[in-house]
Amino acid sequence: MALTERDLLKVQAAYPNGRLELRDGKVVIKGFLDLWSAGIVTNLLTHLFNWVQPRRLGFVASSNAGFRLTNGDIVAPAATFVAKERMRIPPRDFADVVPNLVVEIKSCSDRIAELDQKLSLLRSLGAQAALLIDPDERTVMVDADGQPRCVLTDADTLVLPLLLPGWSMRVSELWPEPL
């Protein structure tokens, strides 16, 4: 039996602190990020927000934001950017939009193939760029319009020239610094 958004909301009400998605008619319980991966998300979101916000380019969000897709899925990527052309005002509900940029970060319990499949779905539905960050390998897989799919390492700089012209971030800046 395929579950619906209403079913997802019921499960979410029963487990308000859970990280849930609705994919292929099934409620998917997502594990919490380990602290290292959470630090990576924070570093990326901070860097993106500091570029996007002063230029009023759109909205940057963490995995707390849910997106209702045209296929009925409701997903919450680890990090997203939605250009103002796709969404002028963020809703107080799931957003009925595919983010321009979707990011997933492999946590200890994740499988790269499953994350890649989710990002591929989002690309097929209109995401302009997808990043898959693997902290274990210290790599970033980039699948973006106008660029060949590639894997970046610490020596590389992440750029998304068609989506965020002028923005860049060294891959080495993603990783939390030892204190």
Q: How much is the pLDDT for 139?
A: 98
Q: How much is the pLDDT for 14?
A: 87
For 33-173, CATH gives 3.90.1570.10
Contacts of 103 (CB under 8 A, 6+ apart): 41, 44, 77, 78, 79, 80, 130, 131, 132, 133
Two tokens, residue 137: 């390998």
Contact of 20 with 29, CB cutoff 8 Å: yes
Query: Which residues of the chain are under the pLDDT cut of 70?
Result: none
Q: How much is the pLDDT for 124?
A: 97
Q: How much is the pLDDT for 83?
A: 98
How far apart, in whole angstroms, are the C-alpha atoms of residue 65 and residue 102? 12
Q: How much is the pLDDT for 95?
A: 96
The pTM of the full predicted model, rounded to 2 decimals, is: 0.93
Q: How much is the pLDDT for 65?
A: 93
How far apart, in whole angstroms, are the C-alpha atoms of residue 153 and residue 145? 20
